[in-house]
């Protein structure tokens, strides 16, 4: 899952670091089944918890159901919303309605 980080993460300088997924919020998310090229698969969509270079950046909001991640550490570079993929709309919804 690609993640948008809308608060503490942007306060951290934008350089490569390590994102660690530490948990999910089942009260603000759920397992969902989606079809990818006609093949159904299940995954979690909703609020995630984690750290970036050891600093809490929670809560995070999953917006990419087609990229699987699990409880682990990942090399990552924080970025802002990508307008070409309509991530700016997702960011607006998150900031104004979530």
Q: Which pLDDT score is estimated for 98?
A: 66
pLDDT at 94 over 60: yes
> pLDDT tens digits, residue range 7-28?
444 444 457 899 899 999 999 8
Phi then psi dihedrals of residue 78, to 5 deg: -70, 140
Question: Which residues constitute the domain of residue 76?
Answer: 3-97
Do 47 and 61 form a contact (C-beta atoms < 8 A)? yes
> pLDDT tens digits, residue range 35-63?
888 898 888 888 889 999 999 988 887 77
Domain count, the chain: 1
Q: Which pLDDT score is estimated for 20?
A: 93
pTM, two decimal places = 0.64
Q: Which pLDDT score is estimated for 11?
A: 45
Q: Which pLDDT score is estimated for 6?
A: 43
Give the C-alpha separation, 17 to 81, whole Å.
Answer: 18
């Amino acid at each position: 899952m690609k993640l948008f980080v809308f608060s503490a993460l942007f306060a951290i300088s934008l350089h490569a670091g390590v994102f660690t997924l530490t948990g999910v919020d089942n009260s603000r998310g759920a397992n969902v089944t989606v079809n990818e090229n006609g093949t159904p698969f299940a995954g979690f969509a909703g609020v995630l918890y984690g750290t970036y270079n050891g600093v809490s950046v929670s809560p995070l909001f999953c917006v990419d159901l087609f990229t699987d991640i699990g409880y682990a550490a990942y090399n990552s570079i924080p970025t802002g919303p990508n307008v070409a993929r309509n991530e700016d709309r997702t960011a607006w919804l998150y900031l104004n309605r979530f």
